Structure 1
Amino acid sequence: MGSENLTIRPEFVLLGLSSEPGQRKLLFTVFLVMYIVAILGNLLIMLLIIWDAHLHTPMYFFVSHLSLVDACFTSVTVPKMLANLVSEAKTISYAGCLTQMYFFFAFGVTDSFLLAAMAYDRYVAIRNPLHYTSMMSGSLCVGFVASSWIVSHLHSLLHIVLMSRLSFCASREIPHFFCDHQPVLALSCTDTSLIQMLIFTEGALVVLSPFVFIVISYALILVTVLKLPSGSGWRKAFSTCGAHLSVVTLFYGTVIGVYFQPTARYSAEKGRVTTVMYTIVTPMLNPFIYSLRNNDVKGALRRALCRKVETQ
């Protein structure tokens, strides 16, 4: 290949979700509303948990960090996507692409580990309700959260270091709305077998180990629930775990479907659609699924509003 067709530090072009002007305006409006709802919803949950002492429990400690990660996770990709929908210049620099990819990996894996920590929290709450507070101590909760952040950033750093060593051919067009690693790998002229192997080994270990932990936790929860003598106990247990289980299914179903396949089998159209689900839809729904339908959070919201009215 001639040197004119090879570049080490390219400027990429993000093709986005659609090139039709009419569709782009509609998509901009829809995703802007979804992004605002996601940010405001997650910020509201964080503020309520910080403000209300009734929510200073291990479960809501994890929920507050999940809300923080979700707000950051959706902010990695959506603002750039919105800017590209209203602009003719859809370029992103090489450094900007790697930076976006780094934080996308980091926040996504942190989200995964927090979901695993919440599954363990639900298991302890159902299995040992009388010893829940002592078993889920503050130091253990902090350890879970700190480990989630550390492991996710080390994982992300490893992948970005390898991605930074790639060279790219003449094509600079990424058929996606952000710098996802599969379409970027497809543009590389460098041998990507090492990165592919890393994705299916270390990547699978980091992403799937929390999923396996969640499955084991719910298997133990099911065994515990089946031993409960009353139907009310069953209903309480399922209401406690139902929301978490539904989000876990949505999150991991889309992640596994997109990332754990060879680059040659990667479908840009499928990748864009499924990525929208866990980068925008899931962070937007999490505040409603986890918290705003919860009586404790609704009570905290009423107390906050009442105090505001009394102050005025």
Structure 2
Amino acid sequence: MNPTPLYSYASDPAWADLLPLPQDDGQYPLAQIAYTEEYTEAMSYLRAIMAKNEHSPRVLQVTAHIIEMNPAHYTIWVYRAKTLFALSATGEVQLGRELEFLNDLALRHQKNYQIWNHRQTVVEAIAAAAAPAEQEQLVREEKEFMNRMFEQDGKNYHVWSYRQWLVRRFEAWDGELSFVSALLERDVRNNSAWNHRFFVVFGGGGMDARQQGEGEVVEEVVEREIAFIEDAVFIAPQNASAWNYLRGVLKKVHRPLSSVESMCLGYAPLDNPDKITSSHALDLLADIYAEKREEHGKAVKALELLAAKFDPIRANYWNYRVGLVKASV
């Protein structure tokens, strides 16, 4: 089977009016990049079209071609966006079609940041011209697409960042708590999902961040979160994400660490080290007991257990903390 011939701008009459501009690396380039012939030609024609400051359908053609070869090329995305908005203003293109183009790219290039930065720019432009009902539909479709992305990689940083922007920008908090709860049921160790849960519960609007008085979080919300953490820890006692979330919740609502002492002891009984199942619970107990002078002995014991048995790879750190506790007596 013969390979598909490469597209040639030089042989296409639609580009005949342009004199391609080659890349200028100087007379003696120190480390010249060995671009492919296809990429070199496409970039040469793009430089020529940018020199004219042209915003036309053929700009979308050449930028799509280059993006397919190098989706991380920031300058290409910027010029494409300018062209899209210029053509949209004259009715020559529909911005919604750009999202279809981005969907395909995002699914094939999971870790590319530029795709999501461009998507945010396009969605802002679509929303600016949309009625409220159309905005709601746009947000629903964006969330649905992100759910497809999370099915492939539930920890994709770029998708999570975009989702938080979308939710905050459009006040789209409804359903976010149940969404992130479902993700954590699927993978309780998904640190990105734990981070999003904190964002939804304590950093957003709607029922999941109800407040009373001077920024005081409603008690039932706090209790719900503590119960959710307890269930997660029961499933995976050595999961750092849940314990870190617990610390974050307690700090946010100004509860002392000692309020979860009994929970920690369930996973790290100091009087029975053979029953300890979580180094994170042991660490938390060390912090709890370090706050009380009369309990410093327990703090030292917890830290020494971490250094000797439960986290020896960081023994120097735990021994350093032992020194701090003893010095504070």
TM-score, length basis structure 2: 0.21
Q: TM-score with structure 1 length normalisation?
A: 0.22
Comparing both structures, which one devotes a greater share of its residues to helix?
Answer: 1
Q: Please identify the structure whose Cα radius of gyration is greater.
A: 2
Structure with more relative contact order (C-alpha pairs < 8 Å, separation 6 or more): 1
